[in-house]
Amino acid sequence: MGREIKFSLMYRDMWQSSGKYQPRVDQLVQVAPAIVDMGCFARVETNGGAFEQVNLLYGENPNKSVREWTAPFNKAGIQTHMLERGLNALRMFPVPADVRQLMFKVKNAQGTNISRSFDGLNDHRNLELSVKYAKEAGMISQGALCITSSPVHTVDYYVNYADKLVEYGVDEFCLKDMAGIGRPAFLGKLVKALKDRHPNITIQYHGHTGPGFSVASMLEVARAGADYLDTAIEPLAWGMVHPDVITIQAMLKDAGFSVPDINMSAYMEARYLTQTFIDDFLGYTIDPSNKIMNSLLIGPGLPGGMMGSMMADLRTMHPAINMALRNNGKAEVTLNDLVIQLFDEVTYIWPMLGYPPLVTPFSQYTKNIALMNIFSMAQGQSRFSNIDKDSWGMILGKSGKLPGKLADEIVDLAKEKGLEFYTGNPQDEYPNVLDQYRKEMDELGWEYGEDDEELLNFAMFDRQYRDYRSGAAKERFNKEVEAAREKAGAPIVVTRQVVEVPAFDAEEIARKYPDAKPLQATVRGQVIWQVDVEDVSTAPVIGTEVKEGDVVCFIQTYYGIEEVKALKSGKIVQIETKQGAQVQKNQVLAYID
């Protein structure tokens, strides 16, 4: 009998890489026994990443969800693991150290056994506290190496990075091949080098199937000494997700490895239940393109999990880009042309940006810069004319050190704008905050919760937690599901819209207002044309005069409300989104002439 290979089910990531939401706690508890009965999984990824945040977004308590979801696996002796983003912990922007420390205590108490910690830039400084706090809390600390393919990301690069994690006390390694572009032979060499250097450290491989390498990669890393492989089950396997466990089990068994048998009756039950969750409401936010593998991803190296949002960005930007091209006497492009342009632009600018591994949130930043470059050049402007503040933060080192060297062009542009590069430890910029959250909870009469879990949610997800407590999140979620069902043909109660949106006619706008400038969403979220905030705004109508810098509308994001300001003075000649509509970053909201 050959060497043993164990499997982990990526149930959280299966959903995360497919759509917007996770199943409800009652659904998770329903499917857990079937997963246990399959008998082939030594581990299940239960939470972390966007799991807790998603629960708040649809108005449910993530603490209840994590505790009830992990319980049956703990009882069966199956290890549970979570994903956390180092400096960013469970969210998309930096987290104070005291909140990070509390997170590990809470998640361990809730039944999560292993913390998979990654830093999107592979800056080991951002994982030092993750390793320390996870072990102090009694969890297994698994340090992730974000895999990509570039001249900078060599075997020596990753081994040296892993050495630093070992210095911090990490228990395991994960090769996090988030875009699935790790070349199989390279990954085999890397696993062997890690095993030669650290023979007693467990290695788990995580590879998405997007460009098609991951099955071959799993065989290579198994032969080189990997201990665990991350797999999925239908109906969410393959596409931009992960290989199905049935395929991987059969492949490794044929190759002579010792692998567990699969209870196919239980597999079919878990498959059936997962499909019922899709049919319930989760399928409304699953992009069909995420079920398709795409070899074009080998070039830009973008992760499969962001393909749905990327296509939404392109669809909303497509009319504005074509309008700009027409205004400058250039030929229009099809959506397919635009996809290829974006892939080519990411491939072109990625080395200039210092080869950041294309994983959350740096994949989004790189994609945003590329998309705005395409738009700027369509308008006759130069590349890098419009870089958002989050992307500048990555460039300036505020999230950590970039793996490669920035192009001189980018460095010069930063100097022209008077921006300063940051070389300190990113964590130092974020002072502790738990005391102020305790004070506010005391004033509001809110309980800290078992093991301070409510305190953690408040400090980690301030805006979403307030919306959860007020009921606003549940109301928004219900409206979103109603709208999705209406679009799919199911009868619902139609709610009144505050802003009337005329039918969009790009040709008419271009003809009548050749100098019109689009008002674009600065972030992803929900459009608020009229809202009760400290400064009450009035919903604008066509003809409303605005001045450059005026706040025209707001966008409700997962972390708070963002203002959208006019970039030029003039009058609103077209409004394109309704009150409460969900929009993508850079989506055109209106036109100002």
Bridge partners for 43 per DSSP: 8, 79
**Total-model pTM:** 0.81
Burial 208-246 (b: 16+ CB within 10 A, else e): bbbbbbbbbbbbbbbbbbbbbbbbbbbbbbbbbbbbbbb
| Confidence check: pLDDT of 321 > 70 | yes
Q: Decide if 528 contacts 540 (C-beta within 8 A).
A: no
| Confidence check: pLDDT of 499 > 60 | no
Alpha-carbon distance 160 to 149, whole Å?
17
Distance of CA 284 to the CA centre of its chain: 18
| Residue 146: φ, ψ to 5° | -75, 115
| Confidence check: pLDDT of 456 > 60 | yes
| Confidence check: pLDDT of 41 > 90 | yes
Least confident of 49-58, 471-480, 519-528: 519-528
Q: Which two three-digit tokens encode residue 205?
A: 């491989």
Closest CA to 590 of 578, 574, 567: 574
Q: Which two three-digit tokens encode residue 332?
A: 């229009």
Alpha-carbon distance 315 to 300, whole Å?
19
Alpha-carbon distance 588 to 593, whole Å?
14
578: pLDDT confidence band, cut at 50, 70 and 90? confident
Residue type, position 255, single letter: A
Residue type, position 350, single letter: W
Tens of pLDDT, residues 529-551:
754 333 333 556 677 888 888 88
| Confidence check: pLDDT of 319 > 60 | yes
Tens of pLDDT, residues 473-489:
999 999 988 888 887 76
Tokens 């050495």 label which residue?
Answer: 163
DSSP assignment, residue 304?
A: G
- Angle between the N-to-C axes of helices 335-352 and 362-378, in degrees from 0 to 180, rounded to the nearest 10: 120
94: pLDDT confidence band, cut at 50, 70 and 90? very high
Q: Is the peptide bond before 23 cis (omega within 30 degrees of 0)?
A: no
Helix (H) or strand (E) holding 160: helix 155-168
Edge-to-edge strand ranges of the sheet holding 525-528 = 560-565, 551-557, 525-528, 582-583
Write down the pLDDT at residue 143: 98
Q: Is the peptide bond before 502 cis (omega within 30 degrees of 0)?
A: no
Alpha-carbon distance 580 to 565, whole Å?
18
| Confidence check: pLDDT of 498 > 70 | no
Helix (H) or strand (E) holding 554: strand 551-557
Tens of pLDDT, residues 196-214:
999 999 999 999 999 999 9
The shares of helix, strand and coil residues in the chain, as percent rounded to the nearest 5, are 50, 15, 40
Write down the pLDDT at residue 532: 37
> 416-419: long-range contacts at Cβ-Cβ below 8 A with a sequence spacing of 24 or more?
419/392
Helix (H) or strand (E) holding 269: helix 264-280
Bridge partners for 288 per DSSP: none
Q: Which two three-digit tokens encode residue 28?
A: 């998770």
Alpha-carbon distance 88 to 153, whole Å?
23
Residues with Cβ within 8 Å of 562's Cβ and at least 6 positions away in sequence, in order, are 522, 523, 525, 554, 555
DSSP assignment, residue 9?
A: E
Tokens 């974020």 label which residue?
Answer: 430
| Confidence check: pLDDT of 308 > 70 | no
Q: How large is the average pLDDT for residues 227-245?
A: 96
Q: Which two three-digit tokens encode residue 351?
A: 């080395």
Closest CA to 96 of 455, 447, 446: 455
| Confidence check: pLDDT of 502 > 60 | no
Instruction: Please report the DSSP string for 525-552 in residue order.
Output: EEEESS--SSS------TT-EE-TT-EE
Name the region of 586 (left: φ>0; alpha: ψ -120 to 50; beta: rest): left
Write down the pLDDT at residue 304: 66
Q: Decide if 242 contacts 208 (C-beta within 8 A).
A: yes
| Confidence check: pLDDT of 307 > 50 | yes
Tens of pLDDT, residues 263-288:
999 999 999 999 999 999 999 888 78
Give the pairing of strands 140-146 and 114-117.
Answer: parallel
Percent residues over pLDDT 70 in the chain: 92
Distance of CA 190 to the CA centre of its chain: 26
Residue type, position 386, single letter: N
Closest CA to 369 of 413, 426, 422, 420: 413
| Confidence check: pLDDT of 26 > 70 | yes
Alpha-carbon distance 333 to 348, whole Å?
19
Alpha-carbon distance 340 to 347, whole Å?
11
